[in-house]
């Protein structure tokens, strides 16, 4: 489905997405986005989430979930697969380094993980760098525990809000876009040095938070 953008010609990834609302108007081009002004006081804090999975197939399931809040406090939990979760990819195992045997020995039951996660996620906006996948895996995890999964937003939502004050100093959409790309590149470089991506849930959630933290820094 195509997506058209209405916001001064600037790509929505570099705008405060709290100002953007999808409008499904039934055209062939798909949903358009229009500005929706939201007071900063109305914005819930972010929770940076990452999920490792058995594979990328339609039958895949979550094997580890990790999260980091805006203060940098985080948790990660291995998940014990129930008997009807049978998918497994050796290629994925080589990437994340978690064996099925480790899950059996050290994993927690889905209801325990979900109970803890939903407490932390309450009144927070979940963001991920792979929301389509993480949303599916989170829904499967929560469904196993008989709970409803909260929505998962693109992490660009948090990154864009972090740059909001800086971008407001520019009047030209092109200047805003150029500055946003530059800031994001520097923030990602800093985050990769301090919190590298390791294909483990805690480390990768912390990497997303580290980018946001850099962008949020007054002296960045």
Is this model's pTM higher than 0.85 or not? no
Residues 6+ apart with CB under 8 A from 173: 8, 9, 10
Burial 43-58 (b: 16+ CB within 10 A, else e): eeebbbbbbbbbbeee
Instruction: Show pLDDT as tens, one digit a residue, over the chain (220 residues).
Output: 222 222 333 444 444 444 443 333 333 444 443 333 346 667 899 999 999 999 999 999 999 999 999 999 999 999 999 999 999 999 999 999 999 999 999 999 999 999 999 999 999 999 999 999 999 999 999 999 999 999 999 999 999 999 998 888 898 999 999 999 999 999 999 999 999 989 999 999 999 999 999 999 987 7
């Amino acid at each position: 489905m195509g997506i058209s953008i209405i916001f001064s010609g600037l790509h929505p990834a570099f705008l405060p997405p709290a100002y953007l609302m999808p409008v499904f108007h039934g055209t062939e081009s798909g949903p358009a986005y229009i500005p929706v002004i939201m007071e900063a006081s109305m914005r819930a804090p972010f929770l940076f989430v990452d999920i490792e999975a058995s594979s990328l197939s339609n039958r895949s399931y979550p094997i580890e979930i990790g999260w980091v809040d805006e203060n940098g406090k985080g948790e990660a939990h291995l998940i014990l697969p129930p008997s009807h979760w049978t998918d497994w990819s050796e290629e994925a195992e080589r990437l994340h380094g978690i064996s099925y045997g480790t899950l059996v020995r050290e994993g927690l039951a889905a209801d325990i993980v979900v109970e803890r996660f939903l407490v932390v996620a309450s009144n927070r906006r979940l963001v991920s760098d792979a929301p389509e996948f993480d949303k599916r895996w989170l829904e499967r995890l929560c469904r196993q525990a008989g709970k409803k999964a909260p929505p998962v937003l693109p992490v660009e939502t948090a990154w864009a809000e972090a740059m909001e004050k800086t971008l407001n100093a520019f009047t030209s959409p092109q200047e805003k876009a150029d500055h946003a790309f530059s800031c994001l590149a520097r923030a990602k470089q800093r985050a990769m040095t301090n919190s590298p991506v390791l294909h483990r849930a805690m480390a990768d959630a912390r990497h997303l938070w580290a980018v946001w933290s850099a962008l949020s820094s007054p002296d960045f």
